[in-house]
Chain A
């Protein structure tokens, strides 16, 4: 397996994002935000956008999308914020409180059942 993104020249990344790579601090996506498509890919769509819509037919984490697209996480987040702004995907952000005892108990139950 080759490392993703290795053959991505900066110029390709530049084209993909229209020159932007701003993913922080105004970008709401976390590595494990689950993304869900809200529409089908359409003809004429940027191919990465179409690929994201296919991958997110089921909920898919940002980091999985980056790995599948073979793009750096920051670039993936930019593509996602475009899709989000256009209403083409929705985002399920991680619940803020990792210290929530109920969530921790659910994690324990899930792990013990492995």
Chain B
């Protein structure tokens, strides 16, 4: 046992830091600090910058454009990106579909899609959830019906994040209603968002911002080449693989570490009615300390998991990381708003600062209330906390 980073790890961290700190444009960093949903332009630009450096998807295998770094190095990289206020890259291509494609995709699909995901040329959205299929994903009602050598898709997707940014959707649909969804009844299809029959309706979330959508699919025609992996009926296997990946990234440790750092700076600037910085108040110090300790534990759980090698995550542990990580994100966002006092009640969401900001309000007020509200979703998306607990009970204990 050697519970330290090696000197190579540290040298690696320095190398990454040197690049990243310079590479993030200042205005982009400012917007990231606000904690509002990242704009499409920022996602594209940062993706492009990392792509040119060869670092867009360090977690991918080298032959598909990954970096060949160890899992720990990848973690250090993510930590440095977060520390430099770089946005978290669009999730759906790089984190979800990419791994599906290089694991299960046909050579033609890999050829066609992977490079554009890496470069950020193509944005994807995840068409899984529906009005009657959320936690119970197998209940999707969207159908794909055979038509000649292709299929015709009809249905309605819900909560589709970034559907309004996306060029394409990977869509879970029912291809065979005579068998159980989990036993060959589901298939993932890949298709263009930009075609007649696809209608995207924005849904504002509690933060009054637009990140999720409802997507109506009306007679979308797809060919055999659009079936993920080329074989019908593999949808459940693919979805399970994807959801496993989703949980691990959702611990969000690097981001939370950075957010806590920012929070402490703000706690130093905000004062109570006696003029004492909030950071010096015992109750505030205790709340910050509590979060710091929770986060430290989470970080070491992630490190433990990562140090064990690449790719293979234990499902119950990943679920545990997601539960804790999402609650810490909520705690940080809430404490930040509490530090702001009554200012934390205002809706200030102007990314370019301040058309709606009182002249003497500090710019860190922008986005704070909105983020606190949106973070309620952290225990809902990517599998609710209740569902994660169910996974732990089942997979760790067979219950």
Interaction A to B: no
